[in-house]
């Protein structure tokens, strides 16, 4: 049975897209069939980490949502990003369109979220995935609620910042009402001087959820600037090993 894993944060810029790409790649590299859907149609980002630009995407999730194609026609095999794939590894990416006109149309008109649900189901039926990752738009709207509702696992990313803490509380409350089977918190962009043990206790107590890790703000990630997948580029780096531990917690 495919597990649906949504990566979400209440506030923007926490690192959702980079973490989705890295976690999906780590899990795929271990021999799993992984799909990634870019549901952030208002602000698509994940295709860039896999080397796409607006001209190299043919059919996209937008075309499916506008009934111009089947979801399978918006599916791109990006397994080649893995240098050493195990037997059975695959990564399928369903990008959102990066064309300004398409983003403009989504912002003006929105789309029917029931179609998004059908798209997820078609993907699960057709691709025989082990894991489907959903990279989301920040905040809470109808399509986020849908993604959360369909998720087996919800990974909530937050920075060590009071505004993020407040927003995460709102999401956790809602996800509990929607009965998400498994929820984890992940802190990203922590500065060196932060007291990690104190923060862990504080967050686990406040939200009543396990903390999957505290990832540092790292110049190397900022320098890479979404031009690639950090953990594939630097597999021996301590950050890559920390992200690998998070991946294990997601799927265990």
Ligand X SMILES: Nc1ncnc2c1ncn2[C@@H]1O[C@H](COP(=O)(O)OP(=O)(O)OP(=O)(O)O)[C@@H](O)[C@H]1O
Other CB atoms within 10 Å distance of the CB of residue 77: 10
Q: For binding to Mg ion (CB under 5 A), which residues are involved?
A: 16-17, 45
Q: How far is the CB of 10 from ligand X (least distance, A)?
A: 10
Euclidean distance between CA atoms 215 and 205, whole angstroms: 19
* Residue 226, contacted partner among Mg ion, ligand X, none, CB below 5-8 A by kind: ligand X
Q: What one-character-per-residue DSSP string does 50-74 give? A: TT--TTS--S-HHHHHTTSS-GGGG
Which of these ranges, 5-13, 31-39, 159-167, 178-186, lies near ligand X under the rule CB under 6 A?
5-13
Q: Which position has the token pair 């007291």? A: 195
Q: CB of 161 within 8 A of CB of 217?
A: no
Nearer to ligand X, 13 or 208 (CB): 13
Euclidean distance between CA atoms 142 and 140, whole angstroms: 7
Euclidean distance between CA atoms 244 and 107, whole angstroms: 35
* Residue 42, contacted partner among ligand X, Mg ion, none, CB below 5-8 A by kind: none
Which of these ranges, 7-15, 62-70, 113-121, 200-208, lies near ligand X under the rule CB under 6 A?
7-15
Nearer to ligand X, 39 or 90 (CB): 39
* Residue 72 exposed, middle or buried by CB count within 10 Å (0-12, 13-18, 19+): middle
Residues 8-37 that bind ligand X (CB under 6 A): 9, 12-18
Which of these ranges, 163-171, 172-180, 204-212, 221-229, lies near ligand X under the rule CB under 6 A?
221-229
Which of these ranges, 124-132, 159-167, 176-184, 218-226, lies near ligand X under the rule CB under 6 A?
218-226
39 binds ligand X per the rule CB under 6 A: no
240 binds ligand X per the rule CB under 6 A: no
234 binds ligand X per the rule CB under 6 A: no
Q: CB of 186 within 8 A of CB of 22?
A: no
Instruction: Give me the sign of the Cα torsion angle 217, 6, 227, 81.
Output: positive
60 binds ligand X per the rule CB under 6 A: no
What mask, x for binding ligand X by CB under 6 A, covers residues 99 to 118?
A: --------------------
Which of 226, 235, 242, 244 binds ligand X (CB under 6 A)? It is 226
Q: CB of 125 within 8 A of CB of 96?
A: no
Residues 40-59 that bind ligand X (CB under 6 A): 40, 43, 45
Listed in sequence order, the residues at least 6 apart from 62 whose beta carbon sits closer than 8 Å to its beta carbon are 41, 96, 97, 102, 105, 106, 111
**Binding interface with ligand X (CB under 6 A):** 9, 12-18, 40, 43, 45, 138, 188-189, 215, 217-218, 221-222, 225-226
């Amino acid at each position: 049975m495919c597990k649906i894993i949504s990566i979400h944060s209440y506030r923007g810029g926490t690192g959702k897209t980079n973490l989705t790409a890295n976690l999906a790649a780590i899990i795929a590299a271990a021999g799993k069939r992984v799909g990634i859907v870019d549901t952030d149609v208002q602000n698509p980002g994940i295709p860039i980490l896999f080397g796409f630009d607006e001209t190299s995407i043919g059919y996209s999730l937008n075309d499916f949502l506008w009934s111009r194609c089947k979801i399978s026609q918006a599916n791109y095999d990006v397994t080649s990003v893995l240098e050493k794939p195990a037997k059975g590894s695959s990564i399928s990416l369903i990008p959102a369109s990066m064309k300004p006109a398409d983003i403009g149309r989504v912002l003006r008109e929105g789309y029917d979220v029931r179609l998004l649900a059908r798209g997820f189901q078609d993907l699960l039926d057709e691709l025989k995935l082990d894991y489907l990752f959903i990279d989301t738009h920040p905040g809470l709207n109808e399509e986020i609620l849908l993604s959360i509702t369909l998720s087996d696992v919800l990974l909530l990313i937050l920075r060590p910042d009071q505004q993020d803490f407040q927003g995460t509380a709102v999401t956790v409350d809602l996800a509990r009402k929607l009965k998400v089977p498994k929820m984890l918190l992940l802190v990203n962009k922590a500065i060196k001087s932060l007291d990690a043990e104190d923060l862990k206790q504080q967050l686990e107590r406040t939200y009543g959820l396990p903390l999957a890790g505290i990832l540092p703000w790292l110049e190397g990630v900022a320098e890479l600037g979404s031009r690639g997948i950090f953990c594939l580029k630097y597999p021996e780096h301590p950050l890559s090993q920390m992200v690998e531990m998070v991946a294990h917690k997601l799927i265990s």
